[in-house]
Each structure stands twice: as C-alpha cells, then as structure tokens.
Amino acid sequence: MKLAIAFLIVLLSVAVIPAQTSRYSCPMHPEVTSTRKGRKCPKCGMALTRQSAQPKTEPEPENKPATDSFSSLKIPDTPVLDQSGKELNFYSDLVKDKVVAINFVFTTCTAICPSLTATFRRVQQEAKTRGLEVQLISVSVDPTTDTPERLKDFAAKFKAEPGWTFVTGEKTRIDAVLQALGAAVNNRNDHTPMILIGNAGTDYWTRAYGLTSPAKIVDILADAAKRQ
Ligand SMILES: [Cu+2]
C-alpha cells in the first residue's frame, strides 16, 4: 500500500510539474522553445514569448502573419540616406504601396551579414526572373560606421541592382527605424537575422528567417503580393 501511494505521488509530480513550468517560444518558429525568460530565437532573433501551460497540439501555419503586433502605421517616415547619399523618407519613399523585404546588416560584419546579403542578392535575381516587383531594403544597424560610401561599396560587392536600397543616416533616426521594425539591439553584433516581409499597400506583414532559401523568400514575397 505504501509503495502504491509513493508510486502515485511520483507519477503525479511527473505529470504536474512540467505543466507548471513557464515555456517561452518563438512567435515565428513555435518549435523553438525555452524554459528561461529573455531568450531570443536563434532562427529569426525574435524574443521568445510566454506560452500557456497547455502545449498547443495544432501545428502553427508556417507563415504566421505578424498582424498581431505589426502594421504599416508603425513604420516611421524618418529622413534617411541611401547608398548614393540621397535623402529619402523611409516609409513614403521606400515602403509605401510596395511589396518589400527588409533585412538588417552592417558592412563590417564578418558573421552572418555576408550570407544575409548574398541571400538578398539571389532573392532579387529570382524575383526578377519570376516577374515579381519587390523593393529590397537593407537597413544598417551600425549607421555611424556605415556611411553612404561604405554602403555603396557593399552594394556593389553583392551586385545589388536598382530596387535594392541600403539605408543609413543619423544614428537616432536609424535607431527609431530599427526600434519600429522590431530590430533594435544594444550591440550591433546581436542584430537579428529576421527579414520583415510585407505588402504595404494592403498592410499584410510577416517575418522570415534571413537564411531561408532565396526561392522560399520569393514565395513568401509572392504570397504577400497577393494578400488583400
Ligand atoms: Cu551581421
């Protein structure tokens, strides 16, 4: 009898304890979970959010729209500079009424930026092949170092064509843009590999991991272009 009770207690604690532990998971990648607060998703850099104690059994759709938190209205119309040193208003000149993909890079990065940028290059080529009109935007997370001249060299190195704009500018303004797009970081090396993809005309927004295959990213862009 005692043994049976002890067994029951062990069984109960096994069943109950995990359910009481807080779980955090990535809004874009539900398979990425942690029991610790404040973690970021290694796939897209988004902060993990707390989940209810009951794990979801329904699989999440792969391209979950970021509609719960994001809208064109959140994008600032801040004056910024492109790689030619031309002043543009971020929202009205680069985003408004367009199908866009935005990534976050810095020219002196030796880690992930070369891959993110090479991916964008292939996205640009593939979108062109498929007749899809898109605006690519690479926002510098290190605007103090990344002058328009540096960005121009960087763009040339990756054979960027018209329709791909590299953005820098006054640090406070760029910080405001990064903040609004969910890509603000204290240390440039911690920048997110996330790509923000949207149809600004219809206010449809989603996010993707920056090292997803270029074909898949173009699929997501094509899907965004069709969204009402
Ligand atoms: Cu980087």
Q: Cα of 52 to ligand 1 centre, how many Å?
A: 33
- How much is the average pLDDT of 72-78? 95
Which has the minimum average pLDDT: 38-52, 196-210, 212-226?
38-52
Q: Model confidence over 20-50: pLDDT tens digits? A: 467 776 655 556 778 877 777 666 566 676 6
pLDDT tens profile 155-192: 999 999 999 999 999 999 999 999 999 999 889 999 99
Ligand 1 center–CA 203 separation, angstroms: 28
Report pLDDT for 3.
Answer: 53
Judged against a pLDDT cut of 90, whether residue 225 lies above it is answered with: yes
The Cα 95–Cα 89 span in angstroms is: 9
Mean pLDDT, range 92-103, rounded to an integer: 98
Query: pLDDT value at position 17?
Result: 44
Q: Residue 143 Cα, ligand 1 centroid: separation in angstroms?
A: 13
> pLDDT at position 34, please?
81
Which amino acid is it at 213? S
Candidate from 34-43, 70-79, 139-148, 217-226 with smallest mean pLDDT: 34-43
In whole angstroms, give the CA distance from residue 84 to residue 72: 26
Summarize pLDDT for 49-69 with one digit per residue, the tens: 666 444 434 444 445 444 457
pLDDT tens digit string along 110-136? 999 999 999 999 999 999 999 999 999
Which chain residues have CB less than 5 Å from ligand 1, an ion?
109, 111-113
Cβ 120 vs Cβ 218: under 8 Å = no
CA 38–ligand 1 middle distance (angstroms): 21
Ligand 1 midpoint to CA 191 (Å):
6
- pLDDT of res. 6: 56
